[in-house]
Amino acid sequence: MRRILLGSDGSAQARQAEDHVISLAHEEGGSILAVHVVEKDLMHYGMVDPLATQGDKEGFVHYVRELGERECLNRLGEFRQRARKRGVEVTLMVRWGEPLGEILAAATENRVDEVFLPPRCWGREFTGARLAETVNSSCPSKVTVLA
């Protein structure tokens, strides 16, 4: 069974990539790991407030993590429902950090067969030969940027 990782931020371009990987997984009998990455900037902001107590800082980080989990479910929940209607199992995952690095780490940790990325996600362009070369040399899985 083929294991596919999809990096998605829920944007229009990401939704096109979602449709592509649903079809691919349906045809090949695969499963999908959909990864949503939340950048750590907001969490860091809560940790540097010199007037906040340690408990307040930890509470803030917990709150931001909960928001990230909810955002993932909101952005990718519909995708999971569409996939399930076609008989494709989707696991949702939230990671924290720099999006591309977290996606590649998730691919390695979960031993996926292929990673799919939309051409633009998280406000970044994933196109270009140099980026593709760097990404493919950094990941044991094949990485495909959809057009």
Q: Residue 94's beta-bridge partner residues?
A: 36
**pLDDT for position 20:** 92
**pLDDT for position 30:** 92
pLDDT at 45 over 60: no
Calculate what percentage of the chain has a pLDDT beyond 90: 31
pLDDT tens for 55-111 read 777 787 788 778 877 877 787 888 999 999 999 999 999 888 888 889 889 999 999
pTM recorded for the entire structure: 0.80
**pLDDT for position 33:** 96
Q: How confident is the model at residue 50 (pLDDT cuts 50, 70, 90)?
A: low
Residue 93: Cβ-neighbour burial (10 angstroms; 0-12, 13-18, 19+): middle
Q: Which domain holds residue 25?
A: 3-145
For all residues of the chain together, what is the average pLDDT?
Answer: 82
**pLDDT for position 57:** 73
Kindly report each contact of residues 26-30 with a partner whose C-beta sits within 8 Å and lies 24 or more positions away, as own/partner: 26/86, 26/87, 26/88, 28/2, 29/1, 29/2, 30/1, 30/2, 30/3, 30/4, 30/88, 30/113
Q: C-alpha distances in angstroms, 36 versus 22, 28, 74, 88, 133?
A: 17, 24, 11, 18, 23
pLDDT at 13 over 60: yes
82: CATH: 3.40.50.620
Cβ(43)–Cβ(109) under 8 Å?
no
User: Number of structural domains, the chain?
Assistant: 1
Terminal alpha carbon distance of the chain: 25
